[in-house]
Amino acid sequence: MSRSASYAHTATAPSAAQSLIPAQGNGRRLQQRLSILQQEVAEIVTEAAETGNHTNGPRVQALEEAFKGYLKVADAIAVNSGSSALRAACELLRLPPGSEIIIPAYTFIMTAYSVNDAFAVDPQSGTFTKGGLTPVFVDIDPQTYTLDPASVREALSERTAAIIAVHMLGQMADMRPLLDLADEYRLFVIEDAAQAHGATYCDPRTNHIYAAGSMGDCGCFSLSDVKNIGSMGSDAGLLTLTTRLGSRLPSLSAEARAWRNTGRLGRHRYEHQTWGIRARMDEYSAAECLAQLRSLDRWVARRQQIAARYSAALAGTSFTAPYIAPGRRHAFFNYMVKAPTLEARHLLESRLRAAGIQVADTYSVVPDQPLYRQGLLPCRIVAAERAREIAQLLVAIPCYPELREEEIARIEEVLSHCP
Ligand SMILES: Cc1ncc(COP(=O)(O)O)c(C=O)c1O
């Protein structure tokens, strides 16, 4: 493959034989699984016709057990989205009004909105206060684009109650220093693992390898259709609880199950002993996620192979391939290339489009979104400069197991011609 030396290189237009390469693989996954899905749906509908129940049934329980085993966590509670899992984590930990929760400036908006959305709870009176929790934005590590522990330390205040470690793009945040900070200041660590199914982290202290969602106090997974595994219909998500929660674990497990089901703790349908919302997972999503969980490691390995080929194609160019930190297994939910300049970013995007490769929008810096920027939602911005600098230079390259050989080669060809 030859490499263009100039930014003025014009990519050849895709030939008629070249089909469009979609930015994400969910459509193809749906196609591949269609006949199995149809069978699953038919079975669930038949059962539901007899029992009148198609949420929180046996498949939801089986999914929870399977996730518990896969992640090696104390409990796993299925909910209706990753956002619900995040809100549940913030609410169930019963953080006092005025608490601050530290989050990275570079994440998906729902990490932040879920904090604003959650109730705070007064530890003395037990009173619930809406809007009592404040997200505090800090900067990201320049190589992994995940939460920077030094920036977290800078943001600590008397009000800090928790840290949300977002495993952005599929790579786990540097959990050891974050857990050390949490232990030193008695903070909770919530893992936002919405993008990190299949990612792992080797704890440098013990050499123990942890799955994403198993290392903090709670983990929050999205199981929407675009994720490494996900429901093909409605949204879905999952909350994990770990042994770090200690003696609080049994009550939190019970409260999480009540929380997703209108605050119902006992069997009586209309007695609501605690706070809750409607956030149950349906049986269709559970069956589908359960089936996909069995393929997760194989699919992640394929994502890694494809990513390695792209990174090799980029070697020697001025573009930066994703950095994989030592001891971490990157699950490559996204493969993001960093351009050296804005001009170079636009050049690569136009070449990708010219070659029939769809270019997805990339994540924005959350504190720069209108409701935070204009002070309309409570937040505190400590640092976001690095996030701003990096976010504007990233280009998302299609990277999913359903890509065909010809398509991977086509993408490699474009990457290898980067200046
Ligand atoms: C980092 C992050 N957090 C939270 C969420 C919210 O998950 P959901 O869309 O399932 O509500 C997402 C979804 O993409 C995400 O990427």
- Cα of 363 vs centre of ligand 1, distance in Å, is 12
Instruction: Yes or no: say if 230 and 292 are a contact pair by the CB < 8 Å rule.
Output: yes
Question: Which whole number is the average pLDDT over 196-223?
Answer: 98
- pLDDT, one tens digit per residue, over 113-148 is 999 999 999 999 999 999 999 999 999 999 999 999
- Sign of CA pseudo-dihedral 367, 373, 379, 382: positive
In whole angstroms, give the CA distance from residue 368 to residue 419. 30
- Cα of 78 vs centre of ligand 1, distance in Å, is 15
Percent of the chain with pLDDT over 70: 96
Question: Which whole number is the average pLDDT over 74-78?
Answer: 98
Question: Considering only CA atoms, which residue is closest to atom 8 of ligand 1?
Answer: 82
Residue in 107, 145, 222, 363 to alter for ligand 1 test, most ligand atoms within 8 A of Cβ: 222
Kindly state the tokens that stand for 198: 């299949």
Could you give phi then psi for residue 332, rounded to 5 degrees?
45, 50
pLDDT at 350: 98
Greatest C-alpha distance within the chain: 71
In whole angstroms, give the CA distance from residue 169 to residue 151. 20
- pLDDT, one tens digit per residue, over 88-109 is 999 999 999 999 999 999 999 9
Please give the number of the atom of ligand 1 that sits closest to the Cα of 363: 16
- pLDDT of residue 297 exceeding 60: yes
Q: Which CATH architecture fits 38-292?
A: 3-Layer(aba) Sandwich (3.40)
Instruction: Yes or no: say if 170 and 228 are a contact pair by the CB < 8 Å rule.
Output: yes
Q: Return the number of other C-beta atoms located less than 10 Å from residue 407's C-beta.
A: 20
In whole angstroms, give the CA distance from residue 302 to residue 288. 20
- pLDDT, one tens digit per residue, over 259-294 is 999 999 988 999 999 999 999 999 999 999 999 999
pLDDT at 3: 41
pLDDT at 180: 98
- Cα of 237 vs centre of ligand 1, distance in Å, is 9
Angle at 162 (CA atoms; ends 157, 163), nearest 5 degrees: 95
Residue in 224, 231, 281, 333 to alter for ligand 1 test, most ligand atoms within 8 A of Cβ: 224
pLDDT at 196: 98
In whole angstroms, give the CA distance from residue 247 to residue 374. 42
Question: Which whole number is the average pLDDT over 384-402?
Answer: 98
CA distances from 247 to 74, 96, 243, 351 (A): 12, 19, 9, 56
pLDDT at 54: 81
Kindly state the tokens that stand for 72: 């090696």
Reported confidence tier of residue 170, pLDDT bands at 50, 70, 90: very high
Residues in the ligand 1 pocket, defined by CB under 6 Å: 81-83, 86, 107-108, 110-111, 166, 192, 194-195, 222, 224, 235, 237
Taking the CA of residue 368 as centre, how many other CA atoms within 13 Å lie in the half-sphere pointing to its CB? 16
Domain ranges of the chain: 38-292
Instruction: Yes or no: say if 105 and 365 are a contact pair by the CB < 8 Å rule.
Output: yes
pLDDT at 15: 62
Whose structure tokens read 């996954």?
29
- Cα of 220 vs centre of ligand 1, distance in Å, is 9
CA distances from 277 to 70, 129, 251, 362, 379 (A): 27, 15, 18, 31, 24
Please give the number of the atom of ligand 1 that sits closest to the Cα of 236: 10
Question: Which whole number is the average pLDDT over 151-163?
Answer: 98
pLDDT at 13: 55
- Cα of 105 vs centre of ligand 1, distance in Å, is 15
SS3 letters across the chain: CCCCCCCCCCCCCCCCCCCCECCCCHHHHHHHHHHHHHHHHHHHHHHHHHHCCCECCHHHHHHHHHHHHHHCCCEEEEECCHHHHHHHHHHHCCCCCCEEEEEECECCHHHHHHHHHCEEECCCCCCEEECCEEEEEECECCCCCCECHHHHHHHCCCCEEEEEEECHHHCCCCHHHHHHHHHHHCCEEEEECCCCCCCEEECCCCCCEEECCCCCCEEEEECCCCCCCCCCCCCCEEEEECHHHHHHHHHHHHHHHHHCECCCCCCCCCCCCCCCCECCCEHHHHHHHHHHHCCHHHHHHHHHHHHHHHHHHHCCCCCECCCCCCCEECCCCCEEEECCCHHHHHHHHHHHHHCCECCCCCCCEHHHCHHHHCCCCCCEECCCHHHHHHHCCEEEECCCCCCCHHHHHHHHHHHHCCC
> Which of residues 44 and 314 earns the better pLDDT score?
314
Q: Return the number of other C-beta atoms located less than 10 Å from residue 183's C-beta.
A: 11
- Cα of 82 vs centre of ligand 1, distance in Å, is 5
- Cα of 108 vs centre of ligand 1, distance in Å, is 6
pLDDT at 36: 84
Please give the number of the atom of ligand 1 that sits closest to the Cα of 81: 10
Average model confidence (pLDDT) across the chain: 94
pTM of the model: 0.95
pLDDT at 8: 41
Please give the number of the atom of ligand 1 that sits closest to the Cα of 114: 4
- pLDDT of residue 1 exceeding 50: no
pLDDT at 355: 97
Residue 222 β-bridge partners: 237
Reported confidence tier of residue 4, pLDDT bands at 50, 70, 90: very low
Please give the number of the atom of ligand 1 that sits closest to the Cα of 222: 10
In whole angstroms, give the CA distance from residue 91 to residue 95. 7
Burial of 30 (0-12, 13-18, 19+ CB in 10 A): middle
